Amino acid sequence: MNGAIGGDLLLNCTDMSVLERQRAHLKYFNPSFDSPLAGFFADSSMINGGEMDGFLATAGLNLPMIYGETTVEVDPRMSIPLETTLGTGNFKKRKFDTVTKDCNEKKKMMNREEVTEGEEEEKSKITELNNGSPKSIKKMKIKAKKEENNCSNDSSKVTKELEKTDYIHVRARRGQATDSHSIAERVRREKISERMKFLQDLVPGCDKITGKAGMLDEIINYVQSLQRQIEFLSMKLAVVNPRPDFDMDDIFAKEVVSTPMTVVPSPEMVHSGYSHEMVNSGYSNEMVNSGYVHFNPMQQVETSSDPLSCFNNGQAPSMWDSHVQNLYGSLGV
Amino acid sequence: MASADKLINTDVPEKDVFAFHFLQSLSNLRKQNPFDTPDQKNYRVRKIKKAAYVSMARAAGGSSRLWSRALLRRADKDDNKIVRFSRRKRKVTWKISSKRRRSNQRAPVVEEAAERLRNLVPGGGGMETSKLMEETAHYIKCLSMQVKVMQCLVDGLSPK
């Protein structure tokens, strides 16, 4: 079986991932399993390019330089023995149809066990052989770097940095399609999941929801609700009618208490007569002006002010939604 | 949380910037219709809503964000200014569809949600999904800021 594997490896690189998987499968269960290629691959972990070059030459691939480059990065991880790591990775890979889960799980694996870093490097090294296109190999390098850095538990931060700074080198992962397009896909999916995590922090109440679909639904609902809020508030602003005996000091006190706004110089400030006593006089002018914008004939106000008045009696913004619904109903929109 | 993530820059200005822009736009409205009370409430509501969005887009950084640019262009278009925007949109969606042809592993769940999101976020039609999510994050922050400002304004102006 060993010989067959070896022969197959030399003859047909595309099948290598499957064969390697099988081999590693055996190795996982039987760490003492010995194959002529075990030494080869173990050496490859320590390699500085020489032996692999030979292999690559025989395999008809021409990747000496890039490979040499990448080994530098992965050196510290290379002492981890192959058999312990490859098996787990392969099992992971076999299960996955959707790569999204793959990425997430991979990351989890990485964070849980240090051993898996070596695994990624090993996988990436071996699958590099399958890659003919320079683009994919370049991309592969960043994966190597990425996984290397994942162990420091600073995963998201550093990997993002790397992706930003050096997009050229990425490694194909072992057992996965090494098509350059799939690699691009994988990178893209990881970007998306990064951003999903960021959005999760942003949207309130998304901590409990796991899974992309639910998260995205939450996000969509949140955006819709914010847009609706703006619409309702603009309806309110159109309807609100400040009293003719408009007390600016009062408005300011309310405004300042509810929101700590800073002074923003406004052109009207210069021309107004209000500026002296008010701290936020810029706002005062604006407020008065905007008050005039919302002026409404009395008959219109009467019908709509009743639901508003209950809202305006100093109630907390948290009660806003129920009142908005009342308002919404009363306006008949 | 946002500061820890240095790659995706979603800083929004402080609330006062939003407030300033919004109030400025409202005063412009007043200048256009001084003491004018249009018969239909809807007209005023629409004007104020549009002013809210436009001022939000300006406060959030004018042309530095895709969604704000798209919003401002849409606003300009509504005012009968001809805007050549469709060309770029077509070009980018071509890119998306070609990628789809090659690898059918675009998680369909994500993609259909992304479609819905694209309808919500201005300018979303011409964006890749990852870029879309960045823009959504910034858009959400700006929207919530704008809502706070308008809420305070309503509270301040409403009769006691």
- Determine whether the interchain pair B16/A290 forms a contact, defined as Cβ–Cβ distance below 8 Å: no
- Determine whether the interchain pair B154/A203 forms a contact, defined as Cβ–Cβ distance below 8 Å: no
Of A111, A126, A96, A103, the closest CA to residue A24 belongs to A126
What does the pLDDT read at residue A24?
64
| Domain-wise residue ranges, chain B | 15-30+37-83+115-157
Instruction: Say if A294 is an interface residue toward chain B (CB within 8 Å).
Output: yes
What does the pLDDT read at residue B78?
73
pLDDT < 70 stretches in chain A: 1-177, 241-333
- Determine whether the interchain pair B146/A230 forms a contact, defined as Cβ–Cβ distance below 8 Å: yes
- Determine whether the interchain pair A251/B107 forms a contact, defined as Cβ–Cβ distance below 8 Å: no
| H-helix or E-strand spanning residue A133 | none
Query: Is the per-residue pLDDT at B152 higher than 80?
Result: yes
d(CA B6, CA B107): 26
d(CA A171, CA A90): 16
Residue B144 C-alpha, separation from nearest chain A C-alpha, in angstroms: 7
Q: In Å, what is the CA distance from A14 to each residue of A39, A129, A178, B89? A: 21, 9, 9, 39
d(CA B28, CA A285): 13
Instruction: Give the pLDDT confidence of B3-60 residue by residue, as tens digits.
Output: 445 566 777 788 888 888 888 888 887 777 655 566 667 777 888 888 888 888 888 8
What does the pLDDT read at residue B34?
55
Closest residue to B27, CB basis, from A182, A224, A286? A286
Closest residue to B152, CB basis, from A161, A188, A258? A258
ipTM: 0.81
How many interface pairs between A and B have CB atoms less than 8 angstroms apart? Answer: 216
Q: Which long-range contacts (CB under 8 A, 24 or more apart) does A91-96 make?
A: A91/A28, A93/A21, A93/A173, A93/A174, A93/A175, A93/A176, A94/A21, A94/A175
With tokens 């760490």, the residue in question is A31
State the CB neighbour count (10 A cutoff) for residue A54: 11
Say what the alpha-carbon torsion angle A120, A121, A125, A127 is, to the nearest 10 degrees: 10
Residue B21 C-alpha, separation from nearest chain A C-alpha, in angstroms: 10
d(CA A6, CA A110): 30
Preferred mutation among B96, B101, B133 to probe A, highest tally of A CBs within 10 A: B133
- Determine whether the interchain pair B136/A199 forms a contact, defined as Cβ–Cβ distance below 8 Å: yes
Closest residue to A293, CB basis, from B2, B26, B156? B26
Query: Is the per-residue pLDDT at B71 higher than 70?
Result: yes
d(CA A16, CA A175): 9
Cα A85 vs. chain centroid, distance in angstroms? 27
Cα B110 vs. chain centroid, distance in angstroms? 22
What does the pLDDT read at residue A48?
44
3-state secondary structure of A5: helix
Instruction: Say if A77 is an interface residue toward chain B (CB within 8 Å).
Output: no
Residue B81 C-alpha, separation from nearest chain A C-alpha, in angstroms: 25
Instruction: Give the pLDDT confidence of B92-150 residue by residue, as tens digits.
Output: 545 555 455 444 456 787 888 888 888 888 887 777 888 888 888 888 888 888 898 88
Closest residue to B158, CB basis, from A213, A266, A308? A308
- Provide DSSP, B4-64: T--SS------HHHHHHHHHHHHHHHHHHSTT---S-HHHHHHHHHHHHHHHHHHHTTTTS
**A186-200 burial, b if ≥16 CB within 10 A, otherwise e?**
bbbbbbbbbbbebbb
What does the pLDDT read at residue A21?
63
d(CA A177, CA A322): 53
In contact, B127 and B66? CB cutoff 8 Å: yes
Residue A35, Cβ density class (10 Å: 0-12 exposed, 13-18 middle, ≥19 buried): middle
Cβ neighbours of B24 in A, within 8 Å:
266, 286
A100: nearest CA in chain B? B107
d(CA B91, CA A59): 41
Say what the alpha-carbon torsion angle A199, A203, A206, A211 is, to the nearest 10 degrees: -30
State the CB neighbour count (10 A cutoff) for residue A261: 18
Q: Which long-range contacts (CB under 8 A, 24 or more apart) does A314-322 make?
A: A314/B160, A317/B151, A317/B155, A320/B151
pTM for this prediction: 0.48
Residue B84 C-alpha, separation from nearest chain A C-alpha, in angstroms: 26
What does the pLDDT read at residue A238?
79
Q: In Å, what is the CA distance from B104 to each residue of A211, B4, B44, B88? A: 20, 34, 48, 25
What does the pLDDT read at residue A170?
63
What does the pLDDT read at residue A225?
92
d(CA B154, CA B151): 5
What does the pLDDT read at residue A25?
65
Residue A21 C-alpha, separation from nearest chain B C-alpha, in angstroms: 22
Taking every pair of Cα atoms in chain B, the longest distance, rounded to a whole number of angstroms, is 63
What does the pLDDT read at residue A124?
45
